[in-house]
A and B are shown apart, each in its own frame.
Chain A
Amino acid sequence: MALGDLVDGSALDGRGDELHGRSVLILTTDQLTAALALFELDGIARRIVLSPPDLPIEHLPAVIEAAKVDALVTDRTTFGPIIPRVQYFMPCARNIVPHKCDRSAEVETEWVLLTSGTVGPPKLVVHTLSSLAGAIDRTEVPPGRVVWSTFYDIRRYGGLQIFLRAVLTGASMVFSSASESTADFLARAGADGVTHISGTPSHWRRALMSPSAKLIDPEYVRLSGEIADQAILNHLRSVYPQAKIAHAFATTEAGVAFVVNDGIAGFPATAIENTPGVEMKVEDRSLRIRSNRTASHYLGGHSGKPLREVDGFVDTGDVIELRDGRYYFAGRRDGVINVGGLKVHPEEVEAVINRHPEVQVSLVRTKKNPITGALVVADVVLKPVTSSTSHNMRELQHDILLFCRDSLSSYKVPVAIYFVPALAMAESGKLLRRNA
């Protein structure tokens, strides 16, 4: 599909103009359809809310309420619950019909991305096309044909970065597909001549376990979304010796902060001072970022911290430590565990474990893992007199895990339960959380 077709065409059956000034939720089954709708609605809609592929349907009403959504663009035909407030349902398809779209009254459209909240509905992060594209240098176009691809879905920040990069620099792009195996995706990417490709370290660890990893011959390999350790950087270097291997630090809220090109884990301390266009500082051990790439605010009634602090910096919550002139990531200050790019809030898992009748208190923490970066483990203090004496410890571990599996996604379920006599408590009376 050529993007030029969209200049004089419409994926919305020529009805995009009807969405002038509206708050539009894009809820599609596939990435390409979402991409077409994004193109058509930027500069027309007041706000575009991009639903990630795995948004639980029960969170839809909260998202619609928070973003005051009054139009829905979708390729789906059936919906479970009745969606309140939404006045406009607009079907969106992959086939483009010829249509001249009136873009004379352009507005700066808000682009709203969703991130996972502690418990309950996701946070709605407000960007604009210009903040999202702030890290993209449109003048620096490599020679030759560039074909981008990413293991990410483009409806997440990491994938959207790659999509915008491809579009704004006039490159091509090969989308991944949730229904396709890693081997099939790599084979397709290879056949389509992908030159630039991105993913999380976990995506790459998985890809490198496939013989199909050799079917691509990239010039540029990019990692983001998780901490890139030295092992994965070395592994990529050995499999793609001719490629430039870069690891980027970005978050949905803070935007792209910097890219490390020297093939070494962590980042040079000088990057804090010398990253053009991005101000960085370390306060209370965590990295804080201010730039024109940061999001502006969260939408909706939000009880947590504001997205930006009063001085305009975004606290990433990522703890960094200086060793020999280089900063290394040392986990999250809030204890959030990153399992293959998916966030686990310890409190959510602890709440489930603590519901078990024989558990007094629990602490969920991270365990390093070479495949997903981290897994979840739990320290559990049992009640002094356990009500049931028939349990042995192994059975009890099993029982607690069953409890977790019943109500948590599999990546949140602890891989091990350790029974401990007590848990350390901070002076504040809160459980002491240590970083990885």
Chain B
Amino acid sequence: MEHDKRLAPLTDSLELLNSGLDSLCFAVVVARLEGSLGVDPFSASEDAVFPVTFGEFVKFYENATN
């Protein structure tokens, strides 16, 4: 990875904060996903509830792209 971070195995129940990514890495992931998917569900609504687990994170994007 660009930021020299080692990722935990990605499972649905993995808590994002335990994934090995810091805030900056998350920010970069969200920006890159916006670049490739054209959506940023975090900014889509002022009342968006942020995902806590990796599974919720994936669902968060699935809902936004459907």
**A interface list, Cβ under 8 A from B:** 181-183, 202, 205-206, 208-211, 229-231, 234-235, 238, 339-340, 367-372, 375, 401, 405, 410-411, 415-416
Contacts and interface: CB of A to CB of B under 8 A. Distances in A.
Interface in B35-55: 35, 40, 42-43, 45-52
B24 A368 contact: no
Contacts of A235: 47-50
Contact of A372 (B2, B18, B27): B27
A410 B24 contact: yes
Contact of B17 (A183, A202, A368): A183
A209 B47 contact: no
Contact of B43 (A181, A209, A211, A368): A368
B46 A371 contact: no
A182 B22 CA distance: 10
A11 to B, nearest CB: 32
Contact of B28 (A229, A230, A375): A375
Interface string B1-25: 0110000000000011110000110
Residue with the greatest number of chain A CB neighbours at <10 A, chosen from B23, B35, B42: B23
Interface of B: 2-3, 15-18, 23-24, 26-28, 30-32, 35, 40, 42-43, 45-52
Contact of A205 (B3, B15, B50): B50
Most buried by B among A231, A405, A411: A231
A371 B42 CA distance: 8
Contact of A182 (B17, B43, B46, B48): B17
B65 to A, nearest CB: 16
A209 B3 CA distance: 20
Contacts of A372: 23-24, 27
B23 A238 contact: no
Contacts of B45: 231
A205 B23 contact: yes
Contacts of A370: 27, 30, 40, 42-43
A368 B44 CA distance: 13
Contacts of B2: 401, 405
Contacts of A231: 42-43, 45-48
Nearest to A411: B24
Contacts of A371: 23, 26-27, 30, 42
A208 B17 CA distance: 10
Contacts of B24: 339-340, 372, 410-411
Nearest to A231: B46
Given A234-B47, A340-B24, A370-B40, A415 B31 contact: yes
Given A209-B50, A230-B46, A369 B15 contact: no
Contact of A416 (B26, B30, B35, B49): B35
Contacts of B43: 231, 368, 370
Given A235-B48, A340-B27, A371-B23, 5 more contacts: A209-B50, A210-B15, A231-B47, A371-B30, A411-B24
Nearest to B31: A415
20 contacts: A206-B17, A209-B17, A209-B26, A209-B52, A210-B52, A230-B46, A231-B45, A238-B47, A238-B49, A339-B24, A339-B27, A340-B24, A340-B27, A369-B27, A370-B30, A371-B23, A371-B26, A372-B24, A405-B2, A415-B28
Contacts of B49: 235, 238
Query: By CB atoms of chain A within 10 A, which of B24, B28, B47 has the most?
Result: B24
A211 B15 contact: yes
A335 B31 CA distance: 20
Contacts of B51: 209
